[in-house]
């Protein structure tokens, strides 16, 4: 059923209140509602969102993508010489890409990152739930489902895939009885997405992934909550999006590019 992977957009608002600014100004971003009667107050998620678009997006842009020497040196010092090689291979994957279709890009990126080792967060990072940046994921050559998905998302954006076609999708993996994250690629708005997964390494349309039950989905600008099949009832929670904000903050601090 196509509705298995349908999402209803739910706006998340940032409220700004001043004497001269309209009481509610809507931003399509991952944020929280803030109310203040006398002054403009920007939330931390909004500032992270802004820094993402100002500092990270211009760098994640195909030919302009670049990992500067300082970042590579820090990665080598922290994770070892092999980390530098993996990062430069990632950079080359993006810069030298000559794919003629998005599907070719999806295959390249999916294969590249699925080479990494799957390790649970509590073992790898000493935390129950940690979302790594692509630098951390490649540096350590390991991570869990969120790390695979985040790395694939940013890499495909860097290779020119439009953001509105990509959704990081939080699902329940029915076969394993666990929560899981995959990357969904929508060739057309409202169409059947292709699923990039680290559990099932080949790319399949969502109609063939009946083992996945979507909960919520998001990208760089928006959040969607999944509707339960046949019920039209909203499900899921946005509380985990703090992890996404943390990732963007760490990426802005990583000083991507030069």
Tokens representing 152? 């694939």
How many angstroms separate the Cα of 4 from the Cα of each of 66, 146, 172, 256? 38, 21, 12, 37
Q: Tens digit of pLDDT for each residue in 187-221? A: 998 899 999 999 999 999 999 999 999 988 888 76
**pLDDT at res. 84:** 97
CA distance 67 to 257: 5
* Helix/strand/coil for 33: coil
Identify whether 76 is part of a domain: yes
**pLDDT at res. 245:** 81
Q: What is the CATH number of the domain that holds 157?
A: 3.10.620.30
Give the relative orientation of helices 102-113 and 81-95 as an angle to the nearest 10 degrees. Answer: 170
Q: Tens digit of pLDDT for each residue in 115-174? A: 999 999 999 999 999 999 999 999 999 999 999 999 999 999 999 999 999 999 999 999
Domains held by the chain: number: 1
Mean pLDDT of the chain, nearest integer: 76
Identify whether 223 is part of a domain: yes
DSSP string covering 200-211? S-S-EEGGG-TT
Class of residue 84 by CB neighbours under 10 A (exposed 0-12, middle 13-18, buried 19+): buried
CA distance 104 to 206: 18
Identify whether 41 is part of a domain: yes
More confident residue, 192 or 226: 192
Identify whether 258 is part of a domain: no
- Domain span at residue 161 reads 2-253
**Torsion sign over Cα 18, 20, 26, 30:** negative
- Confidence category of residue 242, pLDDT binned at 50, 70, 90: confident
The 10 Å CB-count burial string (b at 16+, else e) for 241-255 is: beebbebbbebbebe
Tokens representing 221? 């600008």
The answer to whether 137 and 143 are in contact (CB under 8 A) is yes
**pLDDT at res. 141:** 97
Q: Could you give the percent of the chain with pLDDT greater than 90?
A: 55
pLDDT higher than 50, residue 82:
yes
């Amino acid at each position: 059923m196509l509705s298995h992977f349908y999402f209803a957009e739910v706006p998340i608002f940032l409220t700004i209140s001043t004497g001269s600014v309209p009481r509610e100004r809507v931003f399509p971003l991952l944020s929280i509602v803030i109310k203040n009667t006398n002054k403009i107050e920007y939330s931390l998620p909004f500032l992270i969102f802004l820094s993402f678009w100002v500092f990270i997006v211009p760098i994640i842009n195909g030919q302009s993508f670049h990992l500067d020497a300082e970042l590579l040196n820090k990665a080598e010092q922290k994770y070892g010489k092999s980390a530098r090689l993996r990062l430069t291979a990632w950079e080359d994957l993006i810069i030298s890409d000559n794919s003629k279709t998005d599907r070719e890009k999806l295959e390249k990126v999916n294969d590249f990152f699925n080479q990494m080792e799957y390790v649970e967060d509590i073992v790898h990072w000493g935390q129950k739930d940690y979302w790594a940046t692509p630098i951390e994921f490649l540096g350590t050559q390991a991570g869990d489902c969120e790390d695979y998905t985040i790395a694939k998302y940013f890499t495909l954006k860097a290779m020119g895939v439009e953001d509105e076609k990509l959704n990081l999708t939080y699902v329940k993996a029915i076969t394993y009885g666990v929560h899981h994250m995959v990357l969904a690629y929508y060739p057309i708005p409202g169409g059947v997405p292709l699923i990039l997964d680290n559990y099932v390494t080949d790319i399949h349309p969502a109609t063939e992934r009946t083992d996945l039950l979507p909960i919520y989905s998001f990208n760089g600008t928006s959040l969607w909550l999944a509707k339960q099949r046949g019920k039209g009832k909203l499900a899921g929670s946005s509380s985990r999006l703090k992890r996404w904000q943390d990732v963007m903050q760490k990426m802005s601090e990583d000083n991507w590019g030069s």
